[in-house]
Amino acid sequence: MKFGGTSVADVERIRNVARHVRREVEAGYDVAVVVSAMSGKTNELVAWCRDAAKLHDPREYDVVVSSGEQVTSGLLALALQNDGLPARSWQGWQVPITTSDQHGSARIAAVDGTSILEGFATRREVAVVAGFQGVHAATGRVATLGRGGSDTSAVALAAALGAERCDIYTDVDGVYTTDPRIVPRARRLDRVAFEEMLEMASLGAKVLQVRSVELAMLHRVPTYVRSSFDDPADPRPGTLICDEDDIVEHPVVTGIAFSKDEAQITLRRVADKPGVAAAIFGPLADANVNVDMIIQVVSEDGRSTDITFTVPAMDYERSRAILEDNRGAIGLTGIQGAADVVKVSAIGVGMRSHAGVASRAFRALADKGINIRAITTSEIKFSVLIDAAYTELAVRTLHSLYGLDKA
């Protein structure tokens, strides 16, 4: 069971979490709980680090920001004990959850659940594990997993313990066909395939962290998205993230996602010769800039080309500076860009067996006067880059086009 920051925002909500845990214990389960920091605490800790030193040591940064989860784990263990349940807190280094040494965005290397399993066997003890953190074995230093890392902690721990399932509790009661704040008729999905959820998470849906879905798919961990604000005695089922084979009938499109964290860069009249793409995208990769959509248009004379691609909005100015520094090696005549763009995507494993799914969307968007700047496709999704002003109209149009408004 994993509980996010809003679910443990204060002591009363932590007591509510304890009631959810008691329900599962009384159902006969051994329970491990992964907790996030109380809502707003991580931001506060990050701000303190920046106040202390603008160019701070990432190892000490991890020591500070990981303390939020430590507080929550101790408080929940106390609440469970007060409720008559055996419980103890575990920090990442105590489990241990070992990680890489990339402080601030470390990756999990291994999880040793032996001590937690011993607690289950000897004392039926609830394990309350601090999420978002682990330890780099070679140095013994605390390392954090990046924003949303508690989801990853939970799925990795579930896999290591051989858990029957992993329940991710948030402030919503499942995965929806799109953001209900934009489309009030958006519906909660009963089941979503791992591949679909991975695409949704990477394309803008904020319900689960991308790496947690990758782990769930790799280790085939059935994962539920549920609401911690449901009645602990009678919670709703939520949405099950599972194997594609566990879903009886697939709709053509399962959901519509959108990401406002996009910026477009266009390089004009780049020399059309071998090595140019490497000269453009190599320096960006070296700077850890994630390039997404790429479109190349060759000129009539075949000597030059225009290349358009997207980068995260936060990397827009940095990317332009990198390209300017490499202008000579690239051989371009101009750089243009736009930060007021949005990527809208349709996802569904049903696309594999249906033709013309994307073309219907292109026509529907054109009928609404929405210009498409760029397009990318894969076996189970397509994405369009459009002006940010048309975000809500585009999402509503596609949601209705594929019948997602209907029960």
- Would you say residue 406 lies in a domain? no
Residues 98 and 156 in one domain: yes
d(CA 2, CA 218): 19
Residues 263 and 379 in one domain: yes
Residues 240 and 263 in one domain: no
Under a CB-based contact definition with an 8 Å cutoff, are residues 334 and 268 in contact? yes
pLDDT recorded at residue 407:
63
Split at pLDDT 50, 70, 90, the class of 272 is confident
Residues 291 and 235 in one domain: no
Residues 32 and 125 in one domain: yes
- Would you say residue 177 lies in a domain? yes
Residues 260 and 361 in one domain: yes
- Would you say residue 8 lies in a domain? yes
Phi, psi (rounded to 5 degrees) for 252: -60, -50
Split at pLDDT 50, 70, 90, the class of 334 is confident
d(CA 23, CA 329): 63
- Would you say residue 250 lies in a domain? no
User: C-alpha distances in angstroms, 162 versus 65, 90, 156, 157, 166?
Assistant: 29, 18, 10, 8, 10
Residues 98 and 127 in one domain: yes
Residues 190 and 106 in one domain: yes
Boundary (domain end) residue, out of 244, 264, 280: 244
pLDDT recorded at residue 96:
97
pLDDT recorded at residue 292:
86
Where do we find the tokens 């469970």?
A: 80
Boundary (domain end) residue, out of 184, 216, 244: 244
pLDDT recorded at residue 363:
95
Name the CA radius of gyration of the chain, rounded. 23
Domain count for the chain, please give it.
2
Residues 20 and 51 in one domain: yes
Residues 277 and 338 in one domain: yes
Q: Return the CATH number at 77.
A: 3.40.1160.10
To the nearest whole percent, how much of the chain has pLDDT over 90? Answer: 77
Q: Return the CATH number at 394.
A: 3.30.2130.10
Amino acid at residue number 159? A
48 CB-near residues (< 8 Å, 6+ apart):
64
**Looking at the predicted structure, is the pLDDT value of residue 161 above 80?**
yes
Among residues 313, 318, 321, which one has the least CA distance to residue 339?
A: 313
Residues 289 and 230 in one domain: no
- Would you say residue 171 lies in a domain? yes
- Would you say residue 329 lies in a domain? yes
Split at pLDDT 50, 70, 90, the class of 212 is very high
Split at pLDDT 50, 70, 90, the class of 326 is confident
pLDDT recorded at residue 136:
97
Boundary (domain end) residue, out of 186, 216, 244: 244
pLDDT tens-digit profile of 308-324?
999 999 899 999 999 99
Split at pLDDT 50, 70, 90, the class of 156 is very high
**Looking at the predicted structure, is the pLDDT value of residue 131 above 80?**
yes
pTM of the shown model:
0.86
- Would you say residue 407 lies in a domain? no
To the nearest whole percent, how much of the chain has pLDDT over 70? Answer: 99
The domain in which residue 54 lies consists of 2-244
Residues 238 and 266 in one domain: no
- Would you say residue 251 lies in a domain? no
